[in-house]
Chain A
């Protein structure tokens, strides 16, 4: 700044000041200063407030950035949770499933007179269904894990007539024993043979093989405990022991003996594996031992009188079983083949009491010994998706039955017509259609020579439908 300009400014200032000095007093000036100071303070406060807000905003922005980082993660988590099932009070209900089945049967022989000649009758029902339309047994199943250690299963079958509901299976099993061990307790289908463990609705034919009927009373379910061990090998190998009450044939009497301990025992072993890219197989051997007391059966003696006989002693049954399944690339949805067979061999020794209720020639007891066998072989072929055909051949060999009462001449062999030597056979063909995994409609034709001197031509048209929880398919 030049000296000349500075001087000019100073002159102007003096003139200005002198002018205002005339207009405002000292007091006014003081007030003015005070006002300016107040103004300054106010601005200072506002600026401070603004700065404070700015700092807060910055902090919030920082937080927002951090949250944004987690937002994507949270969104994924939320979507994962949202796509899971909603938690409801009934979320822990056991899996419930229901199997409905019904049948139309056309039989050339009266089913009320059904018997399998050459073999001791088995106390339970084993004949074909009544003629005409009938409702089969409805099956109601509940199953769930109890806790990490146990699983529980209850399968009730509800009879269409007045006999009400029955417990088919009701058992608990361990989940946490490990090392390949599983322990079962309750009522369960015995591991004897192959088909015995399979529920009727999953059978490939509408009825059981004749051998299952005469040796296991259709299907053997014991009240008992079972221990199974699976070997730690890539080849499947299991061994098992079941101890039961002996409540059903071949034990007896019906309901089991009035005794402590066990009334029946089963030992079994299975091996199984894969061959190539399409075949899976399993083979087994089992041994069932029981000591029936007063196991009763009905017969019609030579005088034409209905009598009740009974057997006491020991019954030992051996079963060999085998299953082979094939499907291209193990994909059974389009085509597949299943072959299945079992061979049964039984020895029974003890006493036979004739006419326990003294309705005919009077109660008499003598020795009893029988050696009998039977087998079946069946094949099922799915030729296009949902459609299958199958054939089964049954054959029983009544072998030898020695009766002390007959050998001693006390009674004639004709007093025991049902035990007379006879080898029943049966041919069965079936075709079924399964529109989905849950429904099946089956047409079956059988030529059944179970009864001496008579052929029963049986036509069965059957439906089997499963509702509710998805059942798991046994091999």
Chain B
């Protein structure tokens, strides 16, 4: 009986003490921001990523384990621009945590620090699940990652002043490595300029803008609506007249529509990791862009 009591007390103490012991509990809505915090904070932060590259970030359920993680987070970092509108508000109101409410230093919206593309002039759901704040998939341009990193370093320093110097030093080192990587990627990607692609969802507009890719169609008839047979038939027709160089889809998309179009038009279908963790090679931010370029260059050859 005594030993059982001891055991229960020990478990209880461990459960209560553990989350408090870590320096900074970070709740990242998407893996790219989790990976970025990891780069900037190293072991100073314990990072939990709410989603994976296998999930559609628009369609996440506010499941109990996410509420539990937000409850003890000291920093919440999300894309914003209405990407998480279907689930994040529920996490924020359910978790009983004032530190990460919008407006607090613990609430960080990455899209607020970059120039957003595709800001719609007409906001109407007949155009699909559009985002009034612009296209939220900003992580596909490494220059955006740099801008977010620049804003995130001071925020980390503010939230955890004891380690402020470490964040600044790591931030400086990361940005140096990142900028030289961008130069390397831009050299590598020179042959991709002007390449025409069909995308599943408008998920890569920032990548297109960075590398000069030209999107000439999407498998979704309008954003957020799964491909329909009639729309696919139209695409097949259009691709026969003027074929694109590649059909691009991402890890969480249904690959069947891309395969269908590829088979009928002989245009190669290329799966790109949507974010960090989407493929074996994309295990961090550097690997993520290495893999995207590798896959695009592979298909262009």
Binding site for B on A (CB under 8 A): 76, 79-80, 82-85, 145, 148, 151, 173-182, 228-237, 270-274, 280-282, 325, 329-334, 385-386, 435-438, 467, 470-475
Q: Across the interface, do B68 and A234 meet the contact criterion of CB distance under 8 Å? A: yes
Q: Across the interface, do B129 and A273 meet the contact criterion of CB distance under 8 Å? A: no
Q: Across the interface, do A385 and B93 meet the contact criterion of CB distance under 8 Å? A: no
Q: Across the interface, do B95 and A180 meet the contact criterion of CB distance under 8 Å? A: yes
Q: Which of B15, B19, B62, B98 meets A178, CB within 8 Å?
A: B98
Contacts of A467 in B (CB 8 A): 125
Give me the 5 closest cross-chain CB pairs, A-B, nearest first. Answer: A272-B64, A79-B115, A236-B64, A83-B116, A329-B54
Contacts of A235 in B (CB 8 A): 15, 65, 68
Complex CA gap A205/B224 in Å reads: 24
Complex CA gap A325/B125 in Å reads: 28
Q: Which of A85, A182, A234, A325 meets B96, CB within 8 Å?
A: A182
Complex CA gap A350/B88 in Å reads: 46
Complex CA gap A316/B157 in Å reads: 53
Q: Across the interface, do B96 and A180 meet the contact criterion of CB distance under 8 Å? A: yes
Q: Across the interface, do A178 and B99 meet the contact criterion of CB distance under 8 Å? A: yes
Q: Across the interface, do B224 and A437 meet the contact criterion of CB distance under 8 Å? A: yes
Q: Across the interface, do A180 and B71 meet the contact criterion of CB distance under 8 Å? A: yes
Q: Across the interface, do A228 and B96 meet the contact criterion of CB distance under 8 Å? A: yes
Q: Across the interface, do A232 and B72 meet the contact criterion of CB distance under 8 Å? A: yes
Contacts of B101 in A (CB 8 A): 145, 148, 175-176
User: How distant is A321 from chain B, measured CB to nearest CB, in Å?
Assistant: 13
User: How distant is B220 from chain A, measured CB to nearest CB, in Å?
Assistant: 11
Residue of B64, B72, B82, B89 contacting most chain A CB atoms (<10 Å): B64
Quick check: is B161 within 8 A (CB to CB) of the other chain? Answer: no
Binding site for A on B (CB under 8 A): 15-16, 19-20, 51-52, 54-56, 59-65, 67-69, 71-72, 82, 85-90, 92-99, 101-104, 112-117, 119, 125, 128-129, 132-134, 147, 224-226, 252, 254
Residue of A with least CB distance to B25: A232
A-B CB pair tally, cutoff 8 Å: 163
Q: A83-B116, A236-B68 are in contact. List 10 more A-B contacts (CB 8 A).
A: A80-B112, A82-B119, A148-B103, A148-B104, A178-B96, A182-B93, A231-B68, A233-B19, A330-B55, A435-B225
User: How distant is B8 from chain A, measured CB to nearest CB, in Å?
Assistant: 14
User: How distant is A438 from chain B, measured CB to nearest CB, in Å?
Assistant: 6
Knowing A145-B102, A333-B252, A436-B224, say if A473 contacts B64 (CB, 8 Å): no
Q: Which of B63, B112, B128, B252 meets A280, CB within 8 Å?
A: B63
Knowing A232-B71, A236-B68, A280-B61, say if A472 contacts B132 (CB, 8 Å): no
Q: Across the interface, do B52 and A329 meet the contact criterion of CB distance under 8 Å? A: yes
User: How distant is B170 from chain A, measured CB to nearest CB, in Å?
Assistant: 23
Complex CA gap A474/B92 in Å reads: 12
User: How distant is B71 from chain A, measured CB to nearest CB, in Å?
Assistant: 5
Q: Across the interface, do A232 and B94 meet the contact criterion of CB distance under 8 Å? A: no
Contacts of B129 in A (CB 8 A): 436-437
User: How distant is B50 from chain A, measured CB to nearest CB, in Å?
Assistant: 10
Contacts of B89 in A (CB 8 A): 472
Complex CA gap A332/B60 in Å reads: 8
Complex CA gap A386/B60 in Å reads: 15
Contacts of B67 in A (CB 8 A): 230, 236
User: How distant is B126 from chain A, measured CB to nearest CB, in Å?
Assistant: 10
